[in-house]
């Protein structure tokens, strides 16, 4: 494998954009990334799209093909990958391997999404399969996604004494970061009182402690060392990318599971923990080397729990780290300087690539008010349906 570099990143701001199609969001993000890379569409040798189930893709998840048939028919390789909310990381990993193999010098990874309103529903037309957890969770108990996260949060209160105020403070920290990010959808800072006064969705989680759904798009262009020198600017290398799936015995309350088989000694959220540790091994780094992390904060619980799961903090230590300011910009481990999902709302297939955009901007020193000073190693972690985990490490 040869070294691979980030040539450019780009995004369409997150929000609700009823007048903009999924393809238009994608074009916007790609144009920005190509601009950073000083490339034209015709220079791309490959495009890997994170396939959405919600819109576009010609009904077959062919989002890369749809995009090049709209913008640039020059015969490049198109690959469309699934992975639900982790699809962007799977797309990145695929693009990374394509360039690392030596066969491709310029490959883009792209995700663009327009989300339906409200709770993410059961896919229309799904069969009524009595062995399908997703069918059972809707049909027999009406369990929405926040219910799963809420049960993790409730258990954390029991195990570690986490308070409602600490969960709220995690949201407040994310909102403060997001207020400094022009790509974030929610850019008004909140207070602990405001978070606690927002409607209870699934006890103990309030509305402002749960990520919304948004429309957005993000793109990352990877290339060879020669391409990176041509593009100019600081050399941002892909230190590692890794994807993984879940392990038998994982104790997580995993959407949409209604019956699980937890076993002692198996890591919680094992798909993501495995991806993170695999990426650290490949990059030759450990927790102490990471300058900032972008994680999939579907809720305030994730902000406290995930850094512990990866080994940044001891179990239960996250609460104290958060309240001591160690998870904000300037702290020991800045978590989601972008503002995270809580400030963006989730645009599923695009979200993991937005994480990579933030890593790149931070390492290039282009993150403005939310800049983590002197950042040299930055990483992401994301989780998707089907027990998909992904983690990407960039270094300057």
Partner 1 sequence: MEEAAITAVIPQALSLDPPAPALLGTRCADCGTLYYPQVVSCRNPDCEGKDVAPARIMARGQLYSFTVQRYRPPPLFAIEPWQPYVLGLVDVENGLRVMGIVEAPLEEVRIGMPLRLSTLTLNAEGAQTVMTHSFVPDDGADT
Q: Please check whether residue 387 is in contact with residue 377, taking contact to mean a CB–CB distance below 8 angstroms.
A: no
CA-nearest of 165, 162, 145 to 153 is 162
Q: Rule CB under 8 A: say whether 158 interacts with partner 1.
A: yes
Report the Cα–Cα distance between both ends of the chain, in Å, rounded: 19
Q: Please check whether residue 79 is in contact with residue 47, taking contact to mean a CB–CB distance below 8 angstroms.
A: yes
Q: Rule CB under 8 A: say whether 258 interacts with partner 1.
A: yes
The nearer residue to partner 1, 122 or 376, going by C-beta atoms, is 122
Q: Rule CB under 8 A: say whether 315 interacts with partner 1.
A: no
- To which residue do tokens 């290039």 refer? 364
> CB 271 → partner 1: shortest distance, Å?
14
Q: Rule CB under 8 A: say whether 127 interacts with partner 1.
A: no
Taking the C-alpha atoms of residue 103 and residue 98, their distance in angstroms, rounded to an integer, is: 7
Number of Cβ within 10 Å of residue 230's Cβ equals: 14
Q: Rule CB under 8 A: say whether 200 interacts with partner 1.
A: yes
**Which contiguous run of DSSP H or E holds residue 110?**
strand 106-113
- Which segment (62-70, 134-142, 223-231, 300-308) binds partner 1 by CB under 8 A? 134-142
The nearer residue to partner 1, 77 or 136, going by C-beta atoms, is 136
**Which contiguous run of DSSP H or E holds residue 160?**
helix 145-160
Q: Rule CB under 8 A: say whether 294 interacts with partner 1.
A: no
Q: Rule CB under 8 A: say whether 273 interacts with partner 1.
A: no
- Among 18, 19, 124, 142, which residue sits at the site for partner 1 (rule: CB under 8 A)? 142
The token pair at 230 is: 């041509």
The nearer residue to partner 1, 155 or 278, going by C-beta atoms, is 155
The nearer residue to partner 1, 170 or 239, going by C-beta atoms, is 170
Residue 123 CA to its chain's centroid (Å): 21
Residues between 68 and 107 with contacts to partner 1, criterion CB under 8 A: none
Q: Rule CB under 8 A: say whether 137 interacts with partner 1.
A: yes
Taking the C-alpha atoms of residue 313 and residue 233, their distance in angstroms, rounded to an integer, is: 34
Q: Rule CB under 8 A: say whether 197 interacts with partner 1.
A: no
- Which segment (29-37, 257-265, 313-321, 350-358) binds partner 1 by CB under 8 A? 257-265
The nearer residue to partner 1, 61 or 204, going by C-beta atoms, is 204
CA-CA distances (angstroms) from residue 315 to 72, 160, 162, 312? Answer: 50, 8, 12, 9
The nearer residue to partner 1, 137 or 175, going by C-beta atoms, is 137
Strand order in the sheet with 292-295: 77-81, 46-50, 106-113, 215-223, 5-15, 237-245, 388-395, 377-384, 292-295
Q: Rule CB under 8 A: say whether 124 interacts with partner 1.
A: no
The nearer residue to partner 1, 94 or 171, going by C-beta atoms, is 171
How many residues touch partner 1 (CB under 8 A)?
A: 41
- Among 65, 154, 237, 245, which residue sits at the site for partner 1 (rule: CB under 8 A)? 154
Q: Rule CB under 8 A: say whether 263 interacts with partner 1.
A: yes
Number of Cβ within 10 Å of residue 193's Cβ equals: 11
Taking the C-alpha atoms of residue 202 and residue 362, their distance in angstroms, rounded to an integer, is: 34
> CB 266 → partner 1: shortest distance, Å?
11
Q: Rule CB under 8 A: say whether 202 interacts with partner 1.
A: yes
> CB 147 → partner 1: shortest distance, Å?
5
Number of Cβ within 10 Å of residue 164's Cβ equals: 18
Q: Rule CB under 8 A: say whether 199 interacts with partner 1.
A: yes
Taking the C-alpha atoms of residue 111 and residue 176, their distance in angstroms, rounded to an integer, is: 26
> CB 220 → partner 1: shortest distance, Å?
33
- Among 69, 103, 140, 163, which residue sits at the site for partner 1 (rule: CB under 8 A)? 140
Q: Which residues pair with 299 in a beta bridge?
A: 210
The nearer residue to partner 1, 142 or 374, going by C-beta atoms, is 142
Q: Please check whether residue 367 is in contact with residue 358, taking contact to mean a CB–CB distance below 8 angstroms.
A: yes
- To which residue do tokens 């048939």 refer? 69
Q: What is the DSSP letter of 116?
A: P
The nearer residue to partner 1, 193 or 203, going by C-beta atoms, is 203
The nearer residue to partner 1, 75 or 124, going by C-beta atoms, is 124
> CB 349 → partner 1: shortest distance, Å?
22
Residue numbers of the site for partner 1 (CB under 8 A)?
Answer: 119, 121-122, 130-133, 135-144, 146-147, 150-152, 154-155, 158, 199-205, 248, 253, 257-263
């Amino acid at each position: 494998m040869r070294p691979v570099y980030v040539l450019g990143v780009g995004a369409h701001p997150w929000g609700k954009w009823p007048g903009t199609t999924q393809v238009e969001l994608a074009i916007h993000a790609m144009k920005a990334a190509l601009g950073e890379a000083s490339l034209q569409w015709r220079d791309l040798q490959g495009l890997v799209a994170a396939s959405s189930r919600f819109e576009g893709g010609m009904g077959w998840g062919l989002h890369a093909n749809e995009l090049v048939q709209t913008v640039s028919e020059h015969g490049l390789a198109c690959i469309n990958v699934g992975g639900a909310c982790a699809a962007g990381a799977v797309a990145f990993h695929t693009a990374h391997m394509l360039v690392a193999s030596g066969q491709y010098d310029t490959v883009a990874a792209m995700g663009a999404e327009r989300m339906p309103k409200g709770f993410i529903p059961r896919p229309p037309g799904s069969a009524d399969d009595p062995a399908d957890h997703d069918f059972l969770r809707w049909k027999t108990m009406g369990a929405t996604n926040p219910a799963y996260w809420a049960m993790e949060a409730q258990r954390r209160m029991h195990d570690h004494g986490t308070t409602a105020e600490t969960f709220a403070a995690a949201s407040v920290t994310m909102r403060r970061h997001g207020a400094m990010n022009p790509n974030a959808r929610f850019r008004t800072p909140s207070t602990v009182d405001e978070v606690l006064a927002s409607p209870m969705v699934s006890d103990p989680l309030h509305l402002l402690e749960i990520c919304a759904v948004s429309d957005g798009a993000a793109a990352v262009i990877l290339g060879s060392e020669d391409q990176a020198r041509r593009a100019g600017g600081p050399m941002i290398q892909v230190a590692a990318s890794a994807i993984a799936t879940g392990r038998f015995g994982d104790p997580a309350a995993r959407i949409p599971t209604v019956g699980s088989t937890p076993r002692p000694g198996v890591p919680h959220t094992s798909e993501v923990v495995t991806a993170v540790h695999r990426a650290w091994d490949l990059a030759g780094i450990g927790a102490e080397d990471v300058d900032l992390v972008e994680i999939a904060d579907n809720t305030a619980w994730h902000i406290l729990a995930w850094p512990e799961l990866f080994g940044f903090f001891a179990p239960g230590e996250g609460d104290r780290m958060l309240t001591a300011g160690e998870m904000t910009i300037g702290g020991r481990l800045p978590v989601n300087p972008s503002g995270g999902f809580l400030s963006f709302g989730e645009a599923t297939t695009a979200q993991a690539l937005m994480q990579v955009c933030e890593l790149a901007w931070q390492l290039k020193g282009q993150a403005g008010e939310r800049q983590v000073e002197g950042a040299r190693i930055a990483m992401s972690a994301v989780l998707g349906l089907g027990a998909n985990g992904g983690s990407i490490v960039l270094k300057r």
